[in-house]
Amino acid sequence: MLPAEQAAPSYLTDGNTLRSWLATHDHKRIAILYAVSITFFFFLGGIAAALIRLELATPAGDLMSADTYNKTFTFHGVVMVWFFLIPSIPNTLGNFLLPIMIGARDVAFPRLNLFSWYLYVAGGIFTVACLLLGGVDTGWTFYTPFSTMFSNSNVMLTVVGVFIVGFSSILTGLNFIVTIHTMRTTGMTWFRLPLFVWSMYGVSLVMLLATPVLAMTLALIAAERLLGVGIFDPALGGDPLLFQHFFWFYSHPAVYIMVLPAMGVVSELITAGVRRRIFGYRFMVYSIIGIAVIGFLVWGHHMFVAGQSMYASIVFSILSFIIAVPSAIKVFNWTATLYKGDIAFGAPMIYALGFVGLFMLGGLTGLFLAATALDVNLTDTYFVVAHFHYIMVGGSVMAYLGGIHFWWPKITGRMFSEAWARFAAILMFLGFNLTFFPQFLAGAEGMPRRYHQYPAEYGLLNILSSAGAVLLAASYLLPIGYFLWSLRFGERAGNDPWGAEGLEWTTSSPPPTHNFEAPPVVTEGPYAYTHP
Amino acid sequence: MNAHAPHTAEQFDDAAQQRDAATLGMWAFLATEVLFFGVLFAAYTVCRVIWPDAFASASRHTDLTLGGLETAILLTSSFTVALAVRDVQLGGRRLATGLLCGTAVLGLVFLAIHGFEYYHDYKAAVIPGIRYEEVGGFAAQERLFFFLYYVTTGFHALHVSVGVVVLLTMALRTHRAAFGPGYHTPLEVSALYWHLVDIVWIFVFPLYYQVGRA
Ligand SMILES: [Cu+2]
């Protein structure tokens, strides 16, 4: 080493050409690539959501035909699930933070990491093209035999697009698992890992083991449409329930792909906001692993009315109640961490608290749906729609944005406007509840999902929901504004603007290309705040 | 500062870490492969339970002799690739190169025999979607058997083809003395992959060629 060596340049200034970004192996730059592209897909899916809420503002089907409406909600679902929610936290915050949090220079397979992004982009462009040119009317679930025999829409090419993006997910999961196993720095033992890293471990297991099942199932659908054979078609001797088993074997754990990372983010936000150790660290770890594992055994709760055996339904119902236990442990432990604490209500903390509240409501209504008798009435109503939006939008998106705010100074080296950020966070919480709480009521009163018109008696609840969607849209657009502003005019952030603990706060903001000047050595557990 | 060994990528501290990462990465990848094929085996099981007679009669169309030959070839090839790895570990080069080329040739012979089987199926018109003629009482359900047979063996043959390319690459690198007792991780993980290809076939063969034949 030269004696008078300059401080290493930050990863943002290490190469300014387009090529230095598009051919980068730096996990931090790849995280930025993901962040930009998933934001693009988020707003695409958001436009579809806006159209849906606009159509449902009035009882009559006046904006679009039933057929167009079907294609619109399919577009919304496919884009939001596979091109925003699944990659959201793992591929942006996970990519950026995971190596830094364990004190590594990069992920184990940097080129594979970049390749995942290209797969994601290729799959995304291909799928969106299919959804726009011709469209798909099956819903994001592609239920057979409708999707294989009857739908005259672009099913085959769309499932190919989702198939491609599935590989991006698998490779990311593989990369993270290997990174966590083999790249931890000196002294970073398993039980000194921040909970965010543990959540990345849990989510990677799910990505790795569930996604191949979806990919192969979608390949079978494509083959059925191409060859006119019916593994999933009763008219040709096949079994349509088999499709649902395969599909939910992936798609229930997929919910945990969206929620486990959110839980990881929230654990970091809460401990930093109250400057305390997390309550019951080991229980938090075990509940992450518990959720990841039990999550594989509950898929049948999506099939209570599909003709599945009654005994299977009972077992799936019981298991679905059991998985609520580790989820509840997490909520209790966050609450205990906050209890009688000196809480700083910065924007990240507001998002985190919003997450806890909305996740609780989403989780508890999930128990309604896990009860077989109640589910018979609530299946395919707006109650289900509200429930999973509380988990996926209220939970995951709140946590994602909370995380983006929390680590923004680290990622960009700049501070954002705290006042605007708090305003956006509160607006999001209010807008979200106004949008989706009425849907619980509409669903409980029997309003079915996936229709473009409805009886006038549901009018009030739907107009409330559409009004809430306007607030929600505004709260999603606001951060774009003040974040862009901060890139240019924001105050410079020091290494640790929040006074938070964790390896990522010991390096400069933004970090140098290889993350640390010298490999850090870890001597204590995470969240080593001075107050007990 | 950068006292990196020639084969160690810059994100790793040392060769041992890189070796651990590559090996674990391959095992994780093989786990996903098991799940890919798992879907096909599960679909087979469900359809077989629903239509036992149709599946029994359809499975008589497959060629037990050729299937047995293919099994023997793949098992032998797993043996030769394992010998190649061992030889490199002991410092060998020429024998290992030969063994790797031999393994690749065995893979190609496997593919050739499979192609011959497919050609026979084509003549017998039992390829759903391409050339299929319904005969007998169970034709519609027999079609499910052949569909699954083609998806499974086709997907497996794709893996064999990739494996052959990988093996030939490894043979070339071994020939150029890229590996030795100290460094042979790529060779080792390639062999792992080849063993998986073999193991999958060990399940395909009894399910599609043997069960319910009598
Ligand atoms: Cu579920």
Q: Tokens 């009030």 identify what position?
A: A460
Q: Phi-psi bin for A496: left (phi > 0), alpha (psi -120 to 50), beta?
A: beta
The torsion defined by the Cα of B113, B118, B123 and B126, in degrees rounded to 10, comes to 140
d(CA A294, ligand 1 centre) in Å: 11
Mean pLDDT over residues B163-188, rounded?
94
Find, in chain A, the residue whose alpha carbon is nearest to that of B55: A237
ipTM > 0.90 for the complex? yes
Residue B36 forms contact with A (CB below 8 Å) = yes
How many helices and strands (H and E) does chain B possess? 6, 2
On whether residue A440 sits in a domain, the answer given is: yes
On whether residue A134 sits in a domain, the answer given is: yes
Distance CA(A82)–CA(A254), nearest Å, equals 9
Mean pLDDT over residues B187-198, rounded?
96
Find, in chain A, the residue whose alpha carbon is nearest to that of B33: A212
Residue B23 forms contact with A (CB below 8 Å) = no
Residue B118 forms contact with A (CB below 8 Å) = no
Domains of chain B: 29-213 (1.20.120.80)
Contact criterion met (CB below 8 Å) for A485 and A417: yes
Q: What is residue A348's three-state secondary structure?
A: helix
* Residue A62, domain extent: 18-506
pLDDT of residue A236: 83
What residues contact residue B25 under an 8 Å CB cut-off, 6+ apart? A108, A109, A174, A175, A178, B189
Contact criterion met (CB below 8 Å) for B33 and A175: no
d(CA A302, ligand 1 centre) in Å: 6
On whether residue A531 sits in a domain, the answer given is: no
Contact criterion met (CB below 8 Å) for A178 and B17: no
What residues contact residue B68 under an 8 Å CB cut-off, 6+ apart? B205, B209
Residue B143 forms contact with A (CB below 8 Å) = yes
- Contact call for B28 and A177, based on CB within 8 A: yes
Contact criterion met (CB below 8 Å) for A160 and A142: no
User: Which of A300 and B2 is assigned the larger pLDDT?
Assistant: A300
User: Mean pLDDT, consecutive 10-residue segments, chain A of 532 residues?
Assistant: 55 89 95 97 96 95 92 96 96 97 96 97 95 91 88 88 96 97 95 97 96 95 86 87 95 95 97 94 96 95 93 96 95 95 94 96 95 94 97 95 97 95 97 97 95 94 97 96 95 92 93 92 90 53
Confidence of residue B2 (pLDDT cuts 50, 70, 90): very low
DSSP string, B17-61: HHHHHHHHHHHHHHHHHHHHHHHHHHHHHHHHHH-HHHHHHHHTT
Distance CA(A394)–CA(A438), nearest Å, equals 14
A466-482 pLDDT, tens digit per residue, is 999 999 999 999 999 99
Residue A449, phi then psi, degrees to nearest 5: -85, 165
pLDDT of residue A7: 61
pLDDT of residue B1: 37
- Contact call for A105 and B46, based on CB within 8 A: no
- Identify all chain A residues contacting B28, using CB atoms and an 8 Å cutoff: 173-174, 177-178, 208
What residues contact residue A107 under an 8 Å CB cut-off, 6+ apart? A27, A95, A98, A99, A113, A175, A176, A179, A183, B11
The torsion defined by the Cα of A39, A121, A147 and A447, in degrees rounded to 10, comes to 0
- The tally of domains found in chain A comes to 1
Residue A160 forms contact with B (CB below 8 Å) = no
Q: Write down the pTM of the prediction.
A: 0.94
Residue A208 forms contact with B (CB below 8 Å) = yes
- Contact call for A181 and B24, based on CB within 8 A: yes
Which CATH number belongs to the domain containing residue A420 in this structure? 1.20.210.10
d(CA A77, ligand 1 centre) in Å: 15
Question: What DSSP element (H or E) covers A122?
Answer: helix A110-132
On whether residue A520 sits in a domain, the answer given is: no
Q: Select the residue of B20, B25, B39 nearest A109 (Cβ to Cβ).
A: B25
Q: Tokens 């797993």 identify what position?
A: B78
Q: Is the peptide bond before A510 cis (omega within 30 degrees of 0)?
A: yes
pLDDT of residue B5: 63
pLDDT of residue B8: 83
On whether residue A518 sits in a domain, the answer given is: no
On whether residue A511 sits in a domain, the answer given is: no
Residue B1 forms contact with A (CB below 8 Å) = yes
pLDDT of residue B214: 64
Residue B131 has pLDDT above 90, yes or no: no
Question: What DSSP element (H or E) covers B131?
Answer: strand B131-132
- Within 10 angstroms of residue B213's Cβ, the number of other Cβ atoms is 11
Any alpha helices (H) in A139-194, and if so which ranges? 155-182
